[in-house]
Amino acid sequence: MNKLFTRHPGMILAPATAVLAVFVMACGLLGSGSSATPDAATAPAQSSQATKSPAATTAPAETKPKSDTPTKAASASSGGAQTGGAEAYFGDMVEQDGFTLSAIEVSDPAKVNQDYKIKSGKRIIAIHFAVGNTALEKLKVQPLNSAPLDDAGNAYPPEFTALDSEIPVIELQAGEHADGWMGYSVPANANIVAFRYTVDIEAPKYVTVKLQAAPAGHAPIKAMTQRTPPKLAKLGAKVEANGYSLLAAGLADPATPGILYKPVDGMRLVSVDVAVSNVSSADKLFVNPMYFVLVDTTGMVYTSELGGVSDQIEAVDLTQGQLQAGKVAFVVPNDVKLESIRLAPFLRLDFTLQGGLK
């Protein structure tokens, strides 16, 4: 499914598509995040999206980490710090440099997918986190920029394909947010104590939250600013940019599921009838169901549910004058209201096409 990041903004990745998902993430494409959880999770906070956690677990044992760690985390004084300098914990939403971060759940050790083999001397920890864009023109959610930290300051990179569903690479406009799970391979005896997300690696600009419940007397940090709904074309109206067009012609809510769709408690399947056209551009436009995202009225972004419905739009190159139509499916929580659908073509940073669903 899709939730950016739990069984939310996304689709469940079958073993056959795992390699493709890694390629998509590495290249910065839109993938699909699902909320199927890794297994037992310590969850002090609730996400705005319904998410299935990997599996509830207790906090990591207080043991010393091994020395074979990938990188050393930078200190807060070198660029990253919490809002107002306050310590951030589970459930806090901290803001810095125009983006927000919150840690929602931890599964330690996490349940891995059936095709993944845990390396000797390692364990997989899964973290459900949320990232928001409060003030930037655009913010790309990139799993590679996330890392759990141990009590010696070592940072561990993501372990793609370890989980059945992972937070995808996705672009957020101002006021939007996304969440999902990511798995990390850490030494079996590492004491994981914090989680860090870096929005600008060169600066660096990052936020760190502690993976433990807040102590008594801690004032919760809630930094997400009020969202201003964008001005959108009505459902059934065509939008154009750079010689291309998008028409959201119809909405099925709920949608009739395809043969590959597996229902999830607390979630519903919806689909949008779309038509994409290369109206006047000499450059081909590659259309793919993976390049569509859905946005709800809170700004939560969801990636497409591949195979969720029949008549899914096909992946094609559109030359000038050509049009491609079909359906795009999404899985969203039962209680959310839908706002818009957006097409962000692969490797095309110069434009997006977004239409309203009302």
- The model's pLDDT over 46-96, given as tens digits with 9 standing for 90+, comes to 344 434 445 434 333 333 333 344 555 444 333 344 444 578 998 899 888
- The position carrying tokens 């200190």 is 75
CATH number for the domain formed by residue range(s) 15-210: 2.60.40.1240
One-letter identity of residue 15:
P
pLDDT at position 348 is: 67
Least confident of 12-16, 110-114, 352-356: 12-16
Distance CA 164, CA 201 (A): 28
Looking at per-residue confidence, does 75 or 353 come out higher?
Answer: 353
Nearest to 210 by CA among 94, 51, 40, 70: 94
Count CA within 13 A, CB hemisphere, residue 290.
23
Mean pLDDT calculated for residue range 237-261: 96
pLDDT band at 7 (very low <50, low <70, confident <90, very high): very low
Quote the DSSP letter at residue 233: P
Strand intervals (E) in 135-176: 138-141, 146-150, 154-155, 170-173
Instruction: List the structure tokens of 234.
Output: 């009505």
pLDDT at position 229 is: 84
Task: Confirm whether 15-210 and 238-356 share one CATH topology.
Answer: yes
* Helix, strand, coil share of the chain (percent; to 5): 5, 40, 55
SS3 at position 136? coil
pLDDT surpasses 70 at 105: yes
Distance CA 213, CA 262 (A): 34
pLDDT at position 303 is: 94
pLDDT surpasses 70 at 121: yes
Least confident of 186-200, 204-218, 299-313: 204-218
Nearest to 141 by CA among 194, 182, 113: 182
Looking at per-residue confidence, does 144 or 28 come out higher?
Answer: 144
Distances (CA, A) of 80 to 2, 84, 97, 169, 204: 29, 12, 10, 22, 7
Contact 181, 128 (CB under 8 A): yes
pLDDT surpasses 60 at 352: yes
Quote the DSSP letter at residue 15: G
Mean pLDDT calculated for residue range 108-112: 95
Distances (CA, A) of 341 to 1, 172, 248, 270, 337: 16, 13, 8, 12, 13
Tell me the pLDDT tens digit for each residue of 275-312: 999 999 999 999 999 999 999 999 999 999 999 999 99
pLDDT at position 343 is: 95
pLDDT surpasses 90 at 42: no
Domain locations in the chain?
15-210, 238-356
Nearest to 339 by CA among 311, 305, 303, 301: 301
pLDDT band at 1 (very low <50, low <70, confident <90, very high): very low
Distance CA 31, CA 21 (A): 6
Q: Fold for domain 238-356?
A: Immunoglobulin-like (2.60.40)
Provide the mean pLDDT of the chain.
80
Distance CA 89, CA 199 (A): 19
- The percentage of residues in the chain with a pLDDT greater than 90, rounded to a whole number, is 59
